[in-house]
Amino acid sequence: MIEALQAAEHMKRIANDPLLTSKDIRNMDLKLKRFGIGCVEAARGTLIHHYETDDDDITTKVNLIIATQHNAAPICLSVKKAAMGFIKGPEVTEGLLNMVEMAFRAYDPCLACATHSLPGRMPLIVNIRDKDGNLIRSVQRDHELGL
């Protein structure tokens, strides 16, 4: 409760800061200036939005950079580490795939939402390699050759 109260008081101070309501920040006449860029912090991390319009204020370009893109390298490293830790042989069960999937859910709880894939289940391919890097087996989930 104390932390929630402190956060609310801090948000009130920030919201009343004159810099946030200056004419350089807000465009209250809603006249578009051909492009706009905004950032917002979300559950997955920083979201960056970039929009461009034509002379009739019709959106001509939208570029969204989501946190999943920012986190791609650490997600890959975590998935690799989880797979190496959980998978100890050629037999891969649905439970083991779920454990590997949990490695990136800490970064992105809903990869389907982040990537706009449907129907919302996570397709997953695990390549099992020997110590020399030779492919022993490939296991796929949510594909025609699923488990």
Q: Which residue has the higher pLDDT, 13 or 30?
A: 13
Q: What pTM was computed for the model?
A: 0.50
Contact indicator for 107, 118 with CB cutoff of 8 Å: no
Based on the fold, state whether residues 18 and 60 are members of the same structural domain: yes
Q: Which of 43, 69, 95 is the last residue of a domain?
A: 69
Q: How far apart are CA 27 and CA 61, in angstroms?
A: 20
Q: Average pLDDT in the 120-143 region? A: 75
Based on the fold, state whether residues 62 and 75 are members of the same structural domain: no
Which residues lie closer than 8 Å to 121 by C-beta, 6 or more apart? 112, 142
Based on the fold, state whether residues 6 and 33 are members of the same structural domain: yes
The pLDDT tens digits for 84-110 are 888 887 777 888 888 888 887 777 776
Q: Which of 69, 88, 121 is the last residue of a domain?
A: 69
- Which residue range is the domain that position 25 belongs to? 2-69
Q: Tell me how crowded residue 97 is: count the other CB atoms within 10 A of its CB.
A: 21
For the chain, what is the domain count? 2
**Residues linked to residue 41 through DSSP beta bridges, in sequence order:** 46
Q: Which of 52, 69, 86 is the last residue of a domain?
A: 69
Based on the fold, state whether residues 13 and 65 are members of the same structural domain: yes
Q: Determine, yes or no, domain membership for 31.
A: yes
Q: Is the pLDDT of residue 39 over 60?
A: yes
Based on the fold, state whether residues 134 and 77 are members of the same structural domain: yes
- Strands (E) across 76-134 are located at 124-129
Q: Determine, yes or no, domain membership for 146.
A: no
